[in-house]
């Protein structure tokens, strides 16, 4: 069911957005060569405890997950692009890391993701990350009251296709509110003017993610991490956005 939020409720969601942005900033700053993914998860867990927030991931067990996630942040490295389950791995020079984090503060959820290169970057990785960021900006700009969900999808796809990337549509954006994942689904490819109307009060996570040379993925044997079918790298950018009478409001802006 799609729920619309009042202006007062959107204001109540701001602390969750600020907290999620802050946790991503702190974990990204801690992601150096030699740092273990479990250390990043422990940092995020400590920040949750200190804030009195609640993890959206630790007990999360949807149909596509092999078991409850058990960690509080997604850490996807190189050919992993979504749902990266933190494990005993030390970051190496040149790794492409995506951090995806969602938490609940005072009963309201925010969700966001960033990709970065640890240490020495490859030009191909920087281009891929930049494309997801520009696609996110385009998607947010298209999230105007009176528009349609397809406007967001088409704007994201236009940026990806201009750079020669193909698009997987199995996973995409989604509604956000009292829970992390709700309706409507927002594909990263679609036709403008189609889909659910963008009404003031709609709060969604917009999340373009692309792989360097494929749009096919498979699930790692950990039962969670989604990897590219050909071993190419992936990047992912995401913000929680409220549709208002004045246009899109990014709740997870740094």
As annotated, the binding site for a divalent metal cation includes 100, 111, 174, 207, 238
Q: Tell me the binding residues for substrate.
A: 83, 181
Identify the bridge partners of residue 234 per DSSP, sorted by sequence position: 211
Q: Tell me the binding residues.
A: 83, 100, 111, 174, 181, 207, 238
Cβ within 8 Å of residue 230, ≥6 positions away: 213, 214, 216
CB 239 within 8 A of CB 205: yes
């Amino acid at each position: 069911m799609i729920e619309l939020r009042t202006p007062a409720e959107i204001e109540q969601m701001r602390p969750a957005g600020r907290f999620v942005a802050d946790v991503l900033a702190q974990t990204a700053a801690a992601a150096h060569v030699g740092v273990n993914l479990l250390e990043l998860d422990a940092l995020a867990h400590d920040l949750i405890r200190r804030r009195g927030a609640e993890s959206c991931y630790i007990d999360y067990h949807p149909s596509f997950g092999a078991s409850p996630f058990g960690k509080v942040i997604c850490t996807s490295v190189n050919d992993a692009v979504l749902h990266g389950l933190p494990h005993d791995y030390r970051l190496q020079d040149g790794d492409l890391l995506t951090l995806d984090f969602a938490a609940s503060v005072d009963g309201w959820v925010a969700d966001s993701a960033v990709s970065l290169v640890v240490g020495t970057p490859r030009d191909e990785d920087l281009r891929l990350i930049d494309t997801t960021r520009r696609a996110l900006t385009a998607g947010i700009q298209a999230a105007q009251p009176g528009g349609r969900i397809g406007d967001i999808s088409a704007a994201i796809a236009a940026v990806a296709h201009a750079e020669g990337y193909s698009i997987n549509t199995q996973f995409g954006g989604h509604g956000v509110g009292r829970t992390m994942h709700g309706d409507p689904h927002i594909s990263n490819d679609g036709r403008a003017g189609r889909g659910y109307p963008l009404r003031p009060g709609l709060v969604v996570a917009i999340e373009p993610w692309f792989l360097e040379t494929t749009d096919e993925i498979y699930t790692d044997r950990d039962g969670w991490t989604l990897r590219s079918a050909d071993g190419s790298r992936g990047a992912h950018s995401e913000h929680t956005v409220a549709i208002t009478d004045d246009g899109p409001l990014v709740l997870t802006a740094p």
